[in-house]
Amino acid sequence: MDLEKVYQEHPGSFGAVEALFKATDGKVSRKDIKKWLSAKDSYTLHKPIKKKFKKNKVFVSRMNQQYQADLVDMQSLSKFNDGYRYLLTCICVLSKYAWTIPLPDKNAKTVVSAFEQIFSERIPLKLQTDAGKEFTNKLFQNYLKKKKIGFFMTSNNTKASIVERFNRTLKTKMWKFFTEKNTKRYIDVVDKLVYSYNNTWHRSIQMTPASVTETNQSQVWENLYGKQNNKKVNKPNYRLNDTVRISKEKLLFEKGYEQNWTREIFTIHQIIRRNQLFIN
């Protein structure tokens, strides 16, 4: 089997070992794929550094219940990409199905127009973003209200973790493409790269994002969250009506003497006994 062709053209394009193994239907062993990839600069130069630490999960009960969206700054490459300066990325929390729309700017009308393209396919009940003005402006907020889409935002360093993870996957594919083709032009292939992502087996849901439907979404939920039910639930550290401050996540090079906690004081009004899950 021609691994070069699969690596560049198949839905598993510019993927890692497991993605190529799935793309070849197991006809090439993982060992041989890993050996072949080790000779590819577009793989070895972009292999991620893993930092393992436990985080809460984002919990939803069905597909299209909640989307996360983000704006990826691509201004440094705009001169190679017809003046496009940003990528609007959006992902369904349950199915992991994602969209990417190139934007020439981030003004309100441009962002609304991009979401029109996404919502012409599917509409979520809720949308989560960061606190950027491109999402909090009056025009966009009125647009969401008209569509009857709930909105909330996060401002800590973790932010919208699922779309941030997709951004990393997309940019890794993109930079592998740059290395392979000796180019900085993504505008012609970004749709192919997103198609590749949506049609590549996803470890967390145990299938491809494109194959998730209302019929099999219960199995996807089980794959994502089912194992949580077998874990021991720890005793809570706080009691009802306790007052607490919330820690502020610090960036890697942020000054250590700046405050680490919010000024606001919060009162605990409910304690849910379960394994750690972040419910929106």
pLDDT digits (tens, 9 = 90+) for 65-109: 999 999 999 999 999 999 999 999 999 999 999 999 999 999 999
- According to the model, what pLDDT value does residue 254 have? 44
Helix (H, G, I), strand (E, B) or coil at 255: coil
Tell me: pLDDT of 221 over 80: yes
- According to the model, what pLDDT value does residue 208 have? 96
- According to the model, what pLDDT value does residue 59 have? 82
CA separation (Å) from 87 to 90, 99, 181, 186, 194?
A: 10, 10, 21, 11, 12
CA separation (Å) from 144 to 96, 147, 215?
A: 21, 5, 27
Rg of the chain (C-alpha set):
21
Specify the length of the chain in residues.
Answer: 280
> Could you tell me the two tokens for 41?
């600069």
When pLDDT is cut at 50, 70 and 90, the band that residue 257 belongs to is very low
Mean confidence (pLDDT) of the chain: 82
What does the DSSP 8-state code read for residue 151?
Answer: E
Cα–Cα distance for residue pair 269/280, rounded to 1 Å? 16
Tell me: pLDDT of 275 over 80: no
| Cβ-based neighbours of 62, under 8 Å, separated by 6 or more | 94, 214, 217, 221
Cα–Cα distance for residue pair 260/73, rounded to 1 Å? 28
**Which amino acid would we find at residue 143?**
Y
Tell me: pLDDT of 235 over 80: no
Tell me: pLDDT of 186 over 80: yes
pLDDT digits (tens, 9 = 90+) for 126-139: 999 998 999 999 99
CB 84 within 8 A of CB 102: yes
- According to the model, what pLDDT value does residue 163 have? 93
CA separation (Å) from 77 to 14, 104, 189?
A: 20, 12, 14
- According to the model, what pLDDT value does residue 226 have? 82
**Which amino acid would we find at residue 72?**
V
* Residue of 231 and 278 predicted with greater confidence: 231
Compute the average pLDDT of residues 5-29: 73
pLDDT digits (tens, 9 = 90+) for 140-166: 999 999 999 999 987 655 556 899 999
Cα–Cα distance for residue pair 87/81, rounded to 1 Å? 12
Nearest to 226, CA basis, from 275, 273, 272? 275
Nearest to 98, CA basis, from 143, 160, 45? 160
- According to the model, what pLDDT value does residue 205 have? 94
Q: Using a pLDDT cut of 70, give the percent of the chain over it.
A: 73
pLDDT digits (tens, 9 = 90+) for 25-61: 778 888 887 887 777 766 665 666 555 545 556 788 8
Tell me: pLDDT of 168 over 80: yes
Tell me: pLDDT of 207 over 70: yes
